[in-house]
A and B are shown apart, each in its own frame.
Chain A
Amino acid sequence: MKIRILLLPVVCGVLAACQSVQGERATYVGDGITVDPQIEWTHAIGPRESIPGLGLDRLLFLTARDTTSVWTIDGLGLDELLFFTGVTAGDPLFRSPGVDKKDVIAYNATMLPDDVMEMIAGTLGKAGSQQLRTSMLRPVRFGTVTGFRFDLAYTTQDGLEMKGMALFAQRQKKLDVILFFAASEHYFGQYSSTVEKIFSSVQVPDLPAAKPAA
């Protein structure tokens, strides 16, 4: 595929670090969580600047946390699997360029699952995602604890239609989020079943999940 050949060198040239994540082995993604990558991903760790030409300049600007990981297969902006682990109260999922620190949507340990979904959607909205829709919030397993899944769809500022799926859990007053999104044409369908398996492969330390505020 031409795009794949062209994009990966660009991505790896710009990212602070770029390495391979092999399938069929548990890979640590932070906050005690491991997943089985299923297939080989290009792995970007830590902060990254905008990537001119890929339309990502407002999409994501990851804070310099070692608990944030980004994987991709065909290139950032086409498909991304993001891990935000151990997000504590007062912290955002990430902060986009141009969004003031006091304007971010921060996590709160008393959030209900609906609140977390809205926090994720609002964060993506502030990052420039347009026509963002969330749906199908439902409880699922997150390793041995209860987590939640939802689906999302949005349009990038460059007019690319994206689809995604999110998995999250609140444990010990911290939030773990695994977020996958890809171009709805070809890429999402190509990798959604793989990501489903990754979601199912989540393993967490044997600790009780934080219950929603009640």
Chain B
Amino acid sequence: MRFGLSARIAFTAAVLLCCGKSGYAGASENLAPGYRPAPDTEEGGLWAQTDHEEAEVKASPTLVTDEALNTYVRKIVCELAGEYCASLRVYIVDEPSSNAMTAPNGMVIVWTGLLLRCQNEAELAFVLGHEITHYLKRHSLLNLQKEIRTKGSFGGLTDAAGIGRWLEAVAAGRIASYSRDQEREADAGGFDLVVDKGYDPRQAAFFMANTDDEEQANTNRTKISAYRSTHPDMKERLTDLTKRADAIEAQPHARIAGDEPYRAAIGPHRAAWLEEEFNRGDYAQSVAMIKQLLKGEPQSGELQYYLGEAYRRRNADGDLRNAMTAYQAAIAATDAPSAAHRGLGLVSLKANQKIVARDEFQKYLALAPMASDRNTVEYYLATMGGSP
């Protein structure tokens, strides 16, 4: 049984985050620190399979190896997990969709799309706390046992092939893995972990609201994100997390958002992640997501540039004008990317504003004389009858 990396991560979304109806209710005990199940048990088989998957994740070219970023995320996980830190291993995977997972054996996978969307450390900490709670409560094992009870054995469930078939069924959506109660427990556990570490209690709800907002921008209603497809109703979660934050509003609390350290950690990667975001081809969601980020960083030329790129690629009614406005804002910013001139040149050319287009293309070439698309920009200039 072999999963591709994306299939494995899809299985995570399903195994670890999925919503389904089960008889499971109420909090369970945390597993013991340093726990490892006996290999001849159902849980041992589950761990063996995820150990195998983890070996493939380690070897994957999509693994982000930047040490500073890994250290940063690992530190958050360890602070939240406390005495379980040594049992959790963090892997950042270069994947533009938004998700995270923790496997039964303690493998924690964080997609770069999630890091791109979180606005601060507190938001990321909540998602990680949610995943750590799934691990601590052994939710995947409980669900596997439920499947065995209700649907019968897949065969040798303690061998890798049997577990693998179960994982495959989960990944394919034929089996709902986590119950709503388990998800509620993970939300509650994640919330408590971040509040206990001094993070702003409101940030969990902010993350949830932004996730919902981005989903609403999805014009293709037949397709929902991995995150949404595997989680309970967003409004219910948002309401619950808001109530939890309200309940401790009057209490003394550090309320750490962690904006600055978060931006410092992801800053070197954000432009590349935004480029990859566009390869998802869901430009309406990209527009919504970048607008959310701009609320936290309204002066960011980088974000304004990518907002212009998102509008230009979406190319809906009014988007040429929207793109122009965004590129102009990017150019006015102190961190203006030179490519903003190219973008403004492209949309001006499309809008038949040749004088502006020529001017912007020339500025782009002046600022980026070694640009790999220099010949193409010179071609645009030539078709407009101007000199490069």
Q: Which A residues contact B (CB, under 8 angstroms)? A: 55, 100, 102-103, 105, 108, 110, 112-115, 118, 121-126, 128-133, 135-139, 146, 148, 155-159, 161, 211-214
Q: Are B220 and A102 in contact (CB under 8 A)?
A: yes
CA distance A158 to B56 in the complex (A): 10
Q: How many residue pairs between the two chains, A and B, have CB atoms under 8 Å in the bound complex?
A: 99
- Knowing A100-B220, A114-B376, A214-B349 are in contact, say whether A155-B61 is a contact too (CB < 8 A): yes
- Please indicate the chain A residues that have their CB under 8 angstroms from the CB of B219 in the complex: 102
B373 within 8 A of A: yes
Closest 4 pairs (CB-CB, A-B): A125-B279, A122-B281, A157-B4, A138-B375
- Please indicate the chain A residues that have their CB under 8 angstroms from the CB of B368 in the complex: none
Q: Are B6 and A136 in contact (CB under 8 A)?
A: no
- Knowing A138-B376, A157-B4 are in contact, say whether A121-B279 is a contact too (CB < 8 A): yes
Q: Are B350 and A110 in contact (CB under 8 A)?
A: yes
A125-B278, A139-B376, A148-B376 known; 20 new pairs, CB 8 Å cut-off, are A55-B4, A100-B220, A110-B350, A112-B350, A118-B278, A121-B278, A122-B280, A124-B279, A125-B281, A126-B281, A129-B279, A130-B62, A131-B62, A131-B276, A132-B276, A132-B279, A133-B275, A213-B349, A214-B352, A214-B354
CA distance A122 to B56 in the complex (A): 26
- Please indicate the chain B residues that have their CB under 8 angstroms from the CB of A212 in the complex: 349, 380, 383
- Knowing A114-B376, A123-B281 are in contact, say whether A131-B223 is a contact too (CB < 8 A): no
Q: Are A139 and B379 in contact (CB under 8 A)?
A: yes
CA distance A22 to B56 in the complex (A): 40
Q: Are B56 and A159 in contact (CB under 8 A)?
A: yes
Q: In terms of DSSP, what is the predominant structure of the interface of chain A?
A: mixed
Q: Are B372 and A137 in contact (CB under 8 A)?
A: yes
- Please indicate the chain B residues that have their CB under 8 angstroms from the CB of A100 in the complex: 220, 222-223
CA distance A125 to B281 in the complex (A): 7
- Please indicate the chain B residues that have their CB under 8 angstroms from the CB of A139 in the complex: 375-376, 379
Q: Which of B6, B376, B380 has the most CB of A within 10 A?
A: B376
Q: Which of B219, B276, B279 has the most CB of A within 10 A?
A: B279
Q: Are B61 and A131 in contact (CB under 8 A)?
A: yes
- Please indicate the chain A residues that have their CB under 8 angstroms from the CB of B212 in the complex: none
CA distance A169 to B94 in the complex (A): 32
Q: How far is the CB of B273 from chain A (nearest CB, A)?
A: 11
Q: Are A112 and B4 in contact (CB under 8 A)?
A: no
B315 within 8 A of A: yes
CA distance A146 to B7 in the complex (A): 41
- Please indicate the chain A residues that have their CB under 8 angstroms from the CB of B77 in the complex: none
CA distance A130 to B61 in the complex (A): 10
- Knowing A100-B220, A157-B5, A213-B349 are in contact, say whether A105-B281 is a contact too (CB < 8 A): yes
- Please indicate the chain A residues that have their CB under 8 angstroms from the CB of B346 in the complex: 112, 114
CB-nearest residue of chain B to A128: B6
Q: Which of A132, A136, A211, A214 has the most CB of B within 10 A?
A: A214
- Please indicate the chain A residues that have their CB under 8 angstroms from the CB of B354 in the complex: 214
- Please indicate the chain B residues that have their CB under 8 angstroms from the CB of A131 in the complex: 61-62, 94, 276
- Please indicate the chain A residues that have their CB under 8 angstroms from the CB of B62 in the complex: 130-131, 155, 159
CB-nearest residue of chain A to B56: A159
Q: How far is the CB of B367 from chain A (nearest CB, A)?
A: 17
A113's partner among B59, B350, B376 (CB-CB below 8 A) is B376
- Please indicate the chain A residues that have their CB under 8 angstroms from the CB of B276 in the complex: 131-132
Q: Are A137 and B281 in contact (CB under 8 A)?
A: no
Chain B, residues 336-360, CB within 8 Å of chain A (1/0): the string is 0000000000100110101000000
CB-nearest residue of chain A to B379: A139
- Please indicate the chain A residues that have their CB under 8 angstroms from the CB of B5 in the complex: 130, 157-159
Q: Are A125 and B280 in contact (CB under 8 A)?
A: yes
Write 26 A-B pairs (CB below 8 A) sorted by A numbering: A100-B222, A100-B223, A102-B222, A108-B315, A112-B346, A113-B379, A118-B278, A121-B279, A122-B278, A123-B281, A125-B281, A126-B281, A131-B94, A132-B276, A132-B279, A133-B275, A136-B373, A139-B375, A155-B61, A156-B4, A157-B7, A158-B4, A159-B5, A159-B56, A159-B61, A213-B349
